[in-house]
């Protein structure tokens, strides 16, 4: 979410009414939202509130998945599965920022878009099974999660890491079972709402190193339509709900 601070609690030190902020908390589909100050950061100066609202959860997932869980390093070969969505578009940009060679997987209609945001190679999953083309990767960041975990295991280089962002219960159980066997290179993750990482993303955004891509914008009274659009897999980048947003930051 993003908007102007309407009110703050007595012990809040970082923000004051009128400040423009972005971050994550509950109740984002509303004109007013409330959350703790450590889940927000100053809005990037070069973004509109709508653009800023498209950043936090998706970009935090991409950043923490690649950097913290995936241990991404310069020169690696990185596979991003689900590269055209909200998390995927940030993952492609961040992986290039880490100076890696990026292979992106998406559908036919989104291939040119994914190339345009920096992917070195793009694979159309409707025509090619990336787990059977003989190529191996140092890091696989799996956002789409539509093939079995074991199929990705065979295309990891020795010492490579597979990271699944979210995923079904069945796939999470697969990851857990693999972990029980002592295999530490296949992990799942959920984003941690970390203010330091929000500030890092703010720096990247203001420097033009990454940017949000918004497919569609919906007014608050069309939330159901926005969710339907997302559910059917149409989105390229993010879908944004807009209202005259204000944020209340309670006593910490």
Is 203 among the domain residues? no
Give Cα 28 to chain centroid, integer Å: 17
**Is 198 part of any domain?**
no
Q: Are residues 67 and 159 in the same domain?
A: yes
Residues 148 and 94 both lie in one domain:
yes
- Cα–Cα distance for residue pair 85/73, rounded to 1 Å: 23
Are 36 and 70 contained in the same domain?
no
Quick one: 96 and 151 in the same domain? yes
Which strand (E) or helix (H) includes residue 215? Answer: strand 214-219
Are 76 and 144 contained in the same domain?
yes
- Tens digit of each residue's pLDDT, the chain (252 residues): 999 999 999 999 999 999 999 999 988 888 899 999 999 999 999 999 999 999 999 999 999 999 999 999 999 999 999 999 999 999 999 999 999 999 999 999 999 999 999 999 999 999 999 999 889 999 999 998 777 788 888 899 999 999 999 766 676 777 777 766 666 688 888 899 999 999 999 999 999 999 999 999 999 999 999 999 988 877 899 999 998 656 666 654
Domain contains 87: yes
> 84 and 153 share a domain?
yes
Which of 145, 174, 189 is the C-terminal boundary of a domain? Answer: 189
Residue 7 exposed, middle or buried by CB count within 10 Å (0-12, 13-18, 19+):
middle
pLDDT in tens, 97-121: 999 999 999 999 999 999 999 999 9
CATH code, domain with 216: 3.90.180.10
Model pLDDT, residue 144: 82
Q: What is the number of domains present in the chain?
A: 2
182 and 80 part of one domain: yes
The pTM assigned to this predicted structure is 0.92
Does one domain contain both 29 and 83?
A: no
On whether residue 143 sits in a domain, the answer given is yes
Q: Which range of residues forms the domain containing residue 77?
A: 61-189
């Amino acid at each position: 979410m993003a908007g102007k601070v309407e009110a703050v609690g007595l012990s809040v030190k970082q923000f004051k009414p009128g400040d423009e902020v972005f971050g994550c908390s509950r109740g984002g589909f509303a004109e007013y939202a409330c959350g703790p100050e450590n889940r927000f950061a100053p809005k990037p100066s070069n973004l509109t509130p709508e653009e800023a609202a498209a950043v936090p959860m998706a970009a935090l997932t991409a950043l923490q998945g690649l950097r913290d869980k995936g241990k991404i390093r310069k020169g690696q070969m990185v596979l991003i599965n689900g590269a055209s969505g909200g998390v995927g578009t940030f993952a492609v940009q961040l992986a290039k920022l880490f100076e890696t060679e990026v292979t992106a997987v998406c559908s036919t209609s989104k291939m040119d878009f994914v190339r345009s945001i920096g992917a070195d190679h793009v694979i159309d999953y409707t025509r090619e099974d990336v787990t059977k083309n003989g190529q191996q990767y140092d890091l696989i960041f799996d956002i789409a999660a539509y093939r079995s975990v074991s199929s990705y295991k065979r295309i990891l280089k020795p010492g490579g890491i597979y990271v699944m962002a979210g995923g079904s219960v069945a796939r999470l159980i697969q990851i857990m079972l693999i972990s029980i066997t002592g295999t530490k290179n296949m992990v799942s993750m959920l984003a941690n709402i970390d203010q330091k990482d929000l500030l890092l993303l703010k720096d990247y955004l203001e420097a033009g190193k990454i940017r949000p891509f918004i497919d569609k914008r919906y007014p608050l009274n069309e939330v159901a339509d926005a969710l339907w659009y997302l559910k059917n897999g149409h989105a390229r980048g993010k879908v944004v709900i807009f209202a005259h947003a204000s944020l209340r930051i309670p006593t910490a």
